[in-house]
Amino acid sequence: MATIIKDKTNVTLTENGLFPSSEVMLDLKNLKKVYPTPKGDYVVLEDLNLQIKKEEFVTIIGHSGCGKTTMLSMIAGLNPISGGNISVLGKHIKGPGPDRGVIFQAPSLMPWMTALQNVLLGVNQVFPDATKKQRNDIAKYYLQKVGLEDSFNKRASDLSQGMQQRVGIARAFAIKPKVLLLDEPFGMLDSLTRGELQDILIEIWNKEKITAVMITHDVDEAIFLADRVVMMTSGPKAKIGDVLDIDFERPRTRKSVLEHDDYYKYRKHLIDFLEH
């Protein structure tokens, strides 16, 4: 089985400690976010620098309110940038677009549409030149991948929360984005369903290798899914506090990760950071 080891050591860094630009998918430079308040400006993020390589899965962890979600929605283009810039493959982003797919915390499906229609909403938009059948096939393929082959024509409002989030995953992958942004996608689910969905997510991801940035509160989830865990300092003026490389081989299974010698070392590292 071919395994890809995503490790900083595999890449030769440039002189100033950055990745060479040919390797970088997503680049945040001196990112700043300011909310004006009556008492003066409130600086959420300041001098935030982060490079994410192609085909990398990065999880972001930090205390509530530290600005993780703000950062993600700025990458998605849903929240204006106050300073610095964000670029995808070297191009500065301007507003939202389907090159950056988002899986929201709430499934955010249109409840009046069926599972298939929800996925097609994006597919139709991204592949306008494909035939109707081709677009249907794409949508159905991804719905099958998330285990919903029996629920194509069920209304989203009739699906359980977990099932809805599966549709959300299918919708995000089906539009073939360059970057996938996940905003605590499993935060609202019970732990059993969360585990199932993590497996589904990582299975699809192993096939598609779409550069992914995921926010999570869950230390185990962060380690299980990521090539790198990015730790953010508490706000205001939050920035990147620390970055931890996770050197587990892919594809991973939950069992192999839990049994790995380094697992508790990584876990301790993250918890130490969060507690200080």
Partner 1 sequence: MKQSITLGKITKFMGLGFLSSLKDLFTGKLEKEDYVNFLRKVVVPLASVLLFIGLWHMGSQSLYNIEAEFKIEKALNDQGPAAAEAMRECIASGDVSCKPNTLPSPTQVWDSYKSLLRDHNIISADKAAFIEKTAALNEKRIAEGKDAITYTGRPSFVDQIFRSLKTVFAGFLLALVIAVPLGIFIGLSPTLKSSFNWFIQIFKPVSPVVWYLLVFMIVKTLLIDSNEDSSFTISFISVGLCSMWATLVNTAMGVSSVDKDYINVAKVLKLGNFQKIFKVVLPSSLPLIFTGLKITLSVAWMVLIAIELLAQSPGLGLFVWEEFQNGANDSNAKIIVAMFVIGIIGFLLDRLMLTIQNWVSFDKTDAI
Given candidates 125, 144, 160, 161, which one binds partner 1 under the rule CB under 8 A?
125
- Taking CB under 8 A as the rule, does residue 62 contact partner 1? no
> Which of 52, 102 has the CB closer to partner 1?
102
Closest C-alpha to 146, from 111, 193, 187: 193
Number of residues interacting with partner 1: please give it, by CB under 8 A. 24
State the Cα–Cα distance between residues 103 and 251, nearest whole angstrom: 22
Could you tell me if 6 and 56 are in contact, meaning their C-beta atoms sit under 8 angstroms apart? yes
User: Based on CB atoms, which residue is closest to partner 1, 101 or 235?
Assistant: 101
Minimal distance, residue 105 CB to partner 1, in Å: 9
To the nearest 10°, report the CA torsion of 97, 21, 60, 276.
-140
Question: DSSP letter string over 88-111?
Answer: ETTEE--S--TTEEEE-SS----T
**Residue 275 C-beta-side C-alpha neighbours within 13 Å:** 7
What is the distance between the alpha carbons of residues 185 and 158, in angstroms, rounded to a whole number? 19
| CB 260, min distance to partner 1, A | 36
Q: Where are the alpha helices (DSSP H) in 10-160?
A: 68-76, 115-126, 132-145
Nearer to partner 1, 31 or 175 (CB): 175
Residues 154-213 that bind partner 1 (CB under 8 A): 155, 157, 175
Q: Give the closest residue to 198 by CA, choosing from 253, 256, 258.
A: 253
Q: Which is nearer to partner 1, 34 or 121 (CB)?
A: 121
As measured in angstroms, the least distance from the Cβ of 237 to partner 1 is 26
Give one word for 209, left, alpha or beta, with left for phi > 0 and alpha for psi -120 to 50. Answer: left
What's the alpha-carbon Rg for the chain, to the nearest Å? 19
Q: Closest approach of Cβ 196 to partner 1, in Å?
A: 23
Binding track over 136-155 against partner 1, x by CB under 8 A: -------------------x
Residues 84-123 that bind partner 1 (CB under 8 A): 95-98, 100-102, 104, 106, 108, 110-113, 121-122
Q: 99 or 203, CB closer to partner 1?
A: 99
CB of 127 to partner 1, least distance (A): 12
Q: Which is nearer to partner 1, 159 or 240 (CB)?
A: 159
What's the angle, vertex CA 214, arms to CA 243 and CA 11, rounded to 5?
45
78 binds partner 1, rule: CB under 8 A: yes
Closest to partner 1 by CB, 113 vs 274, is: 113
Q: Is 92 left (phi over 0), alpha (psi -120 to 50) or beta?
A: beta
Closest distance of CB 143 from partner 1, Å: 17
**Which of 69, 234 has the CB closer to partner 1?**
69
Report the distance separating Cα 102 and Cα 76, nearest Å: 7
Contacting positions for partner 1 (CB under 8 A): 76-78, 95-98, 100-102, 104, 106, 108, 110-113, 121-122, 125-126, 155, 157, 175
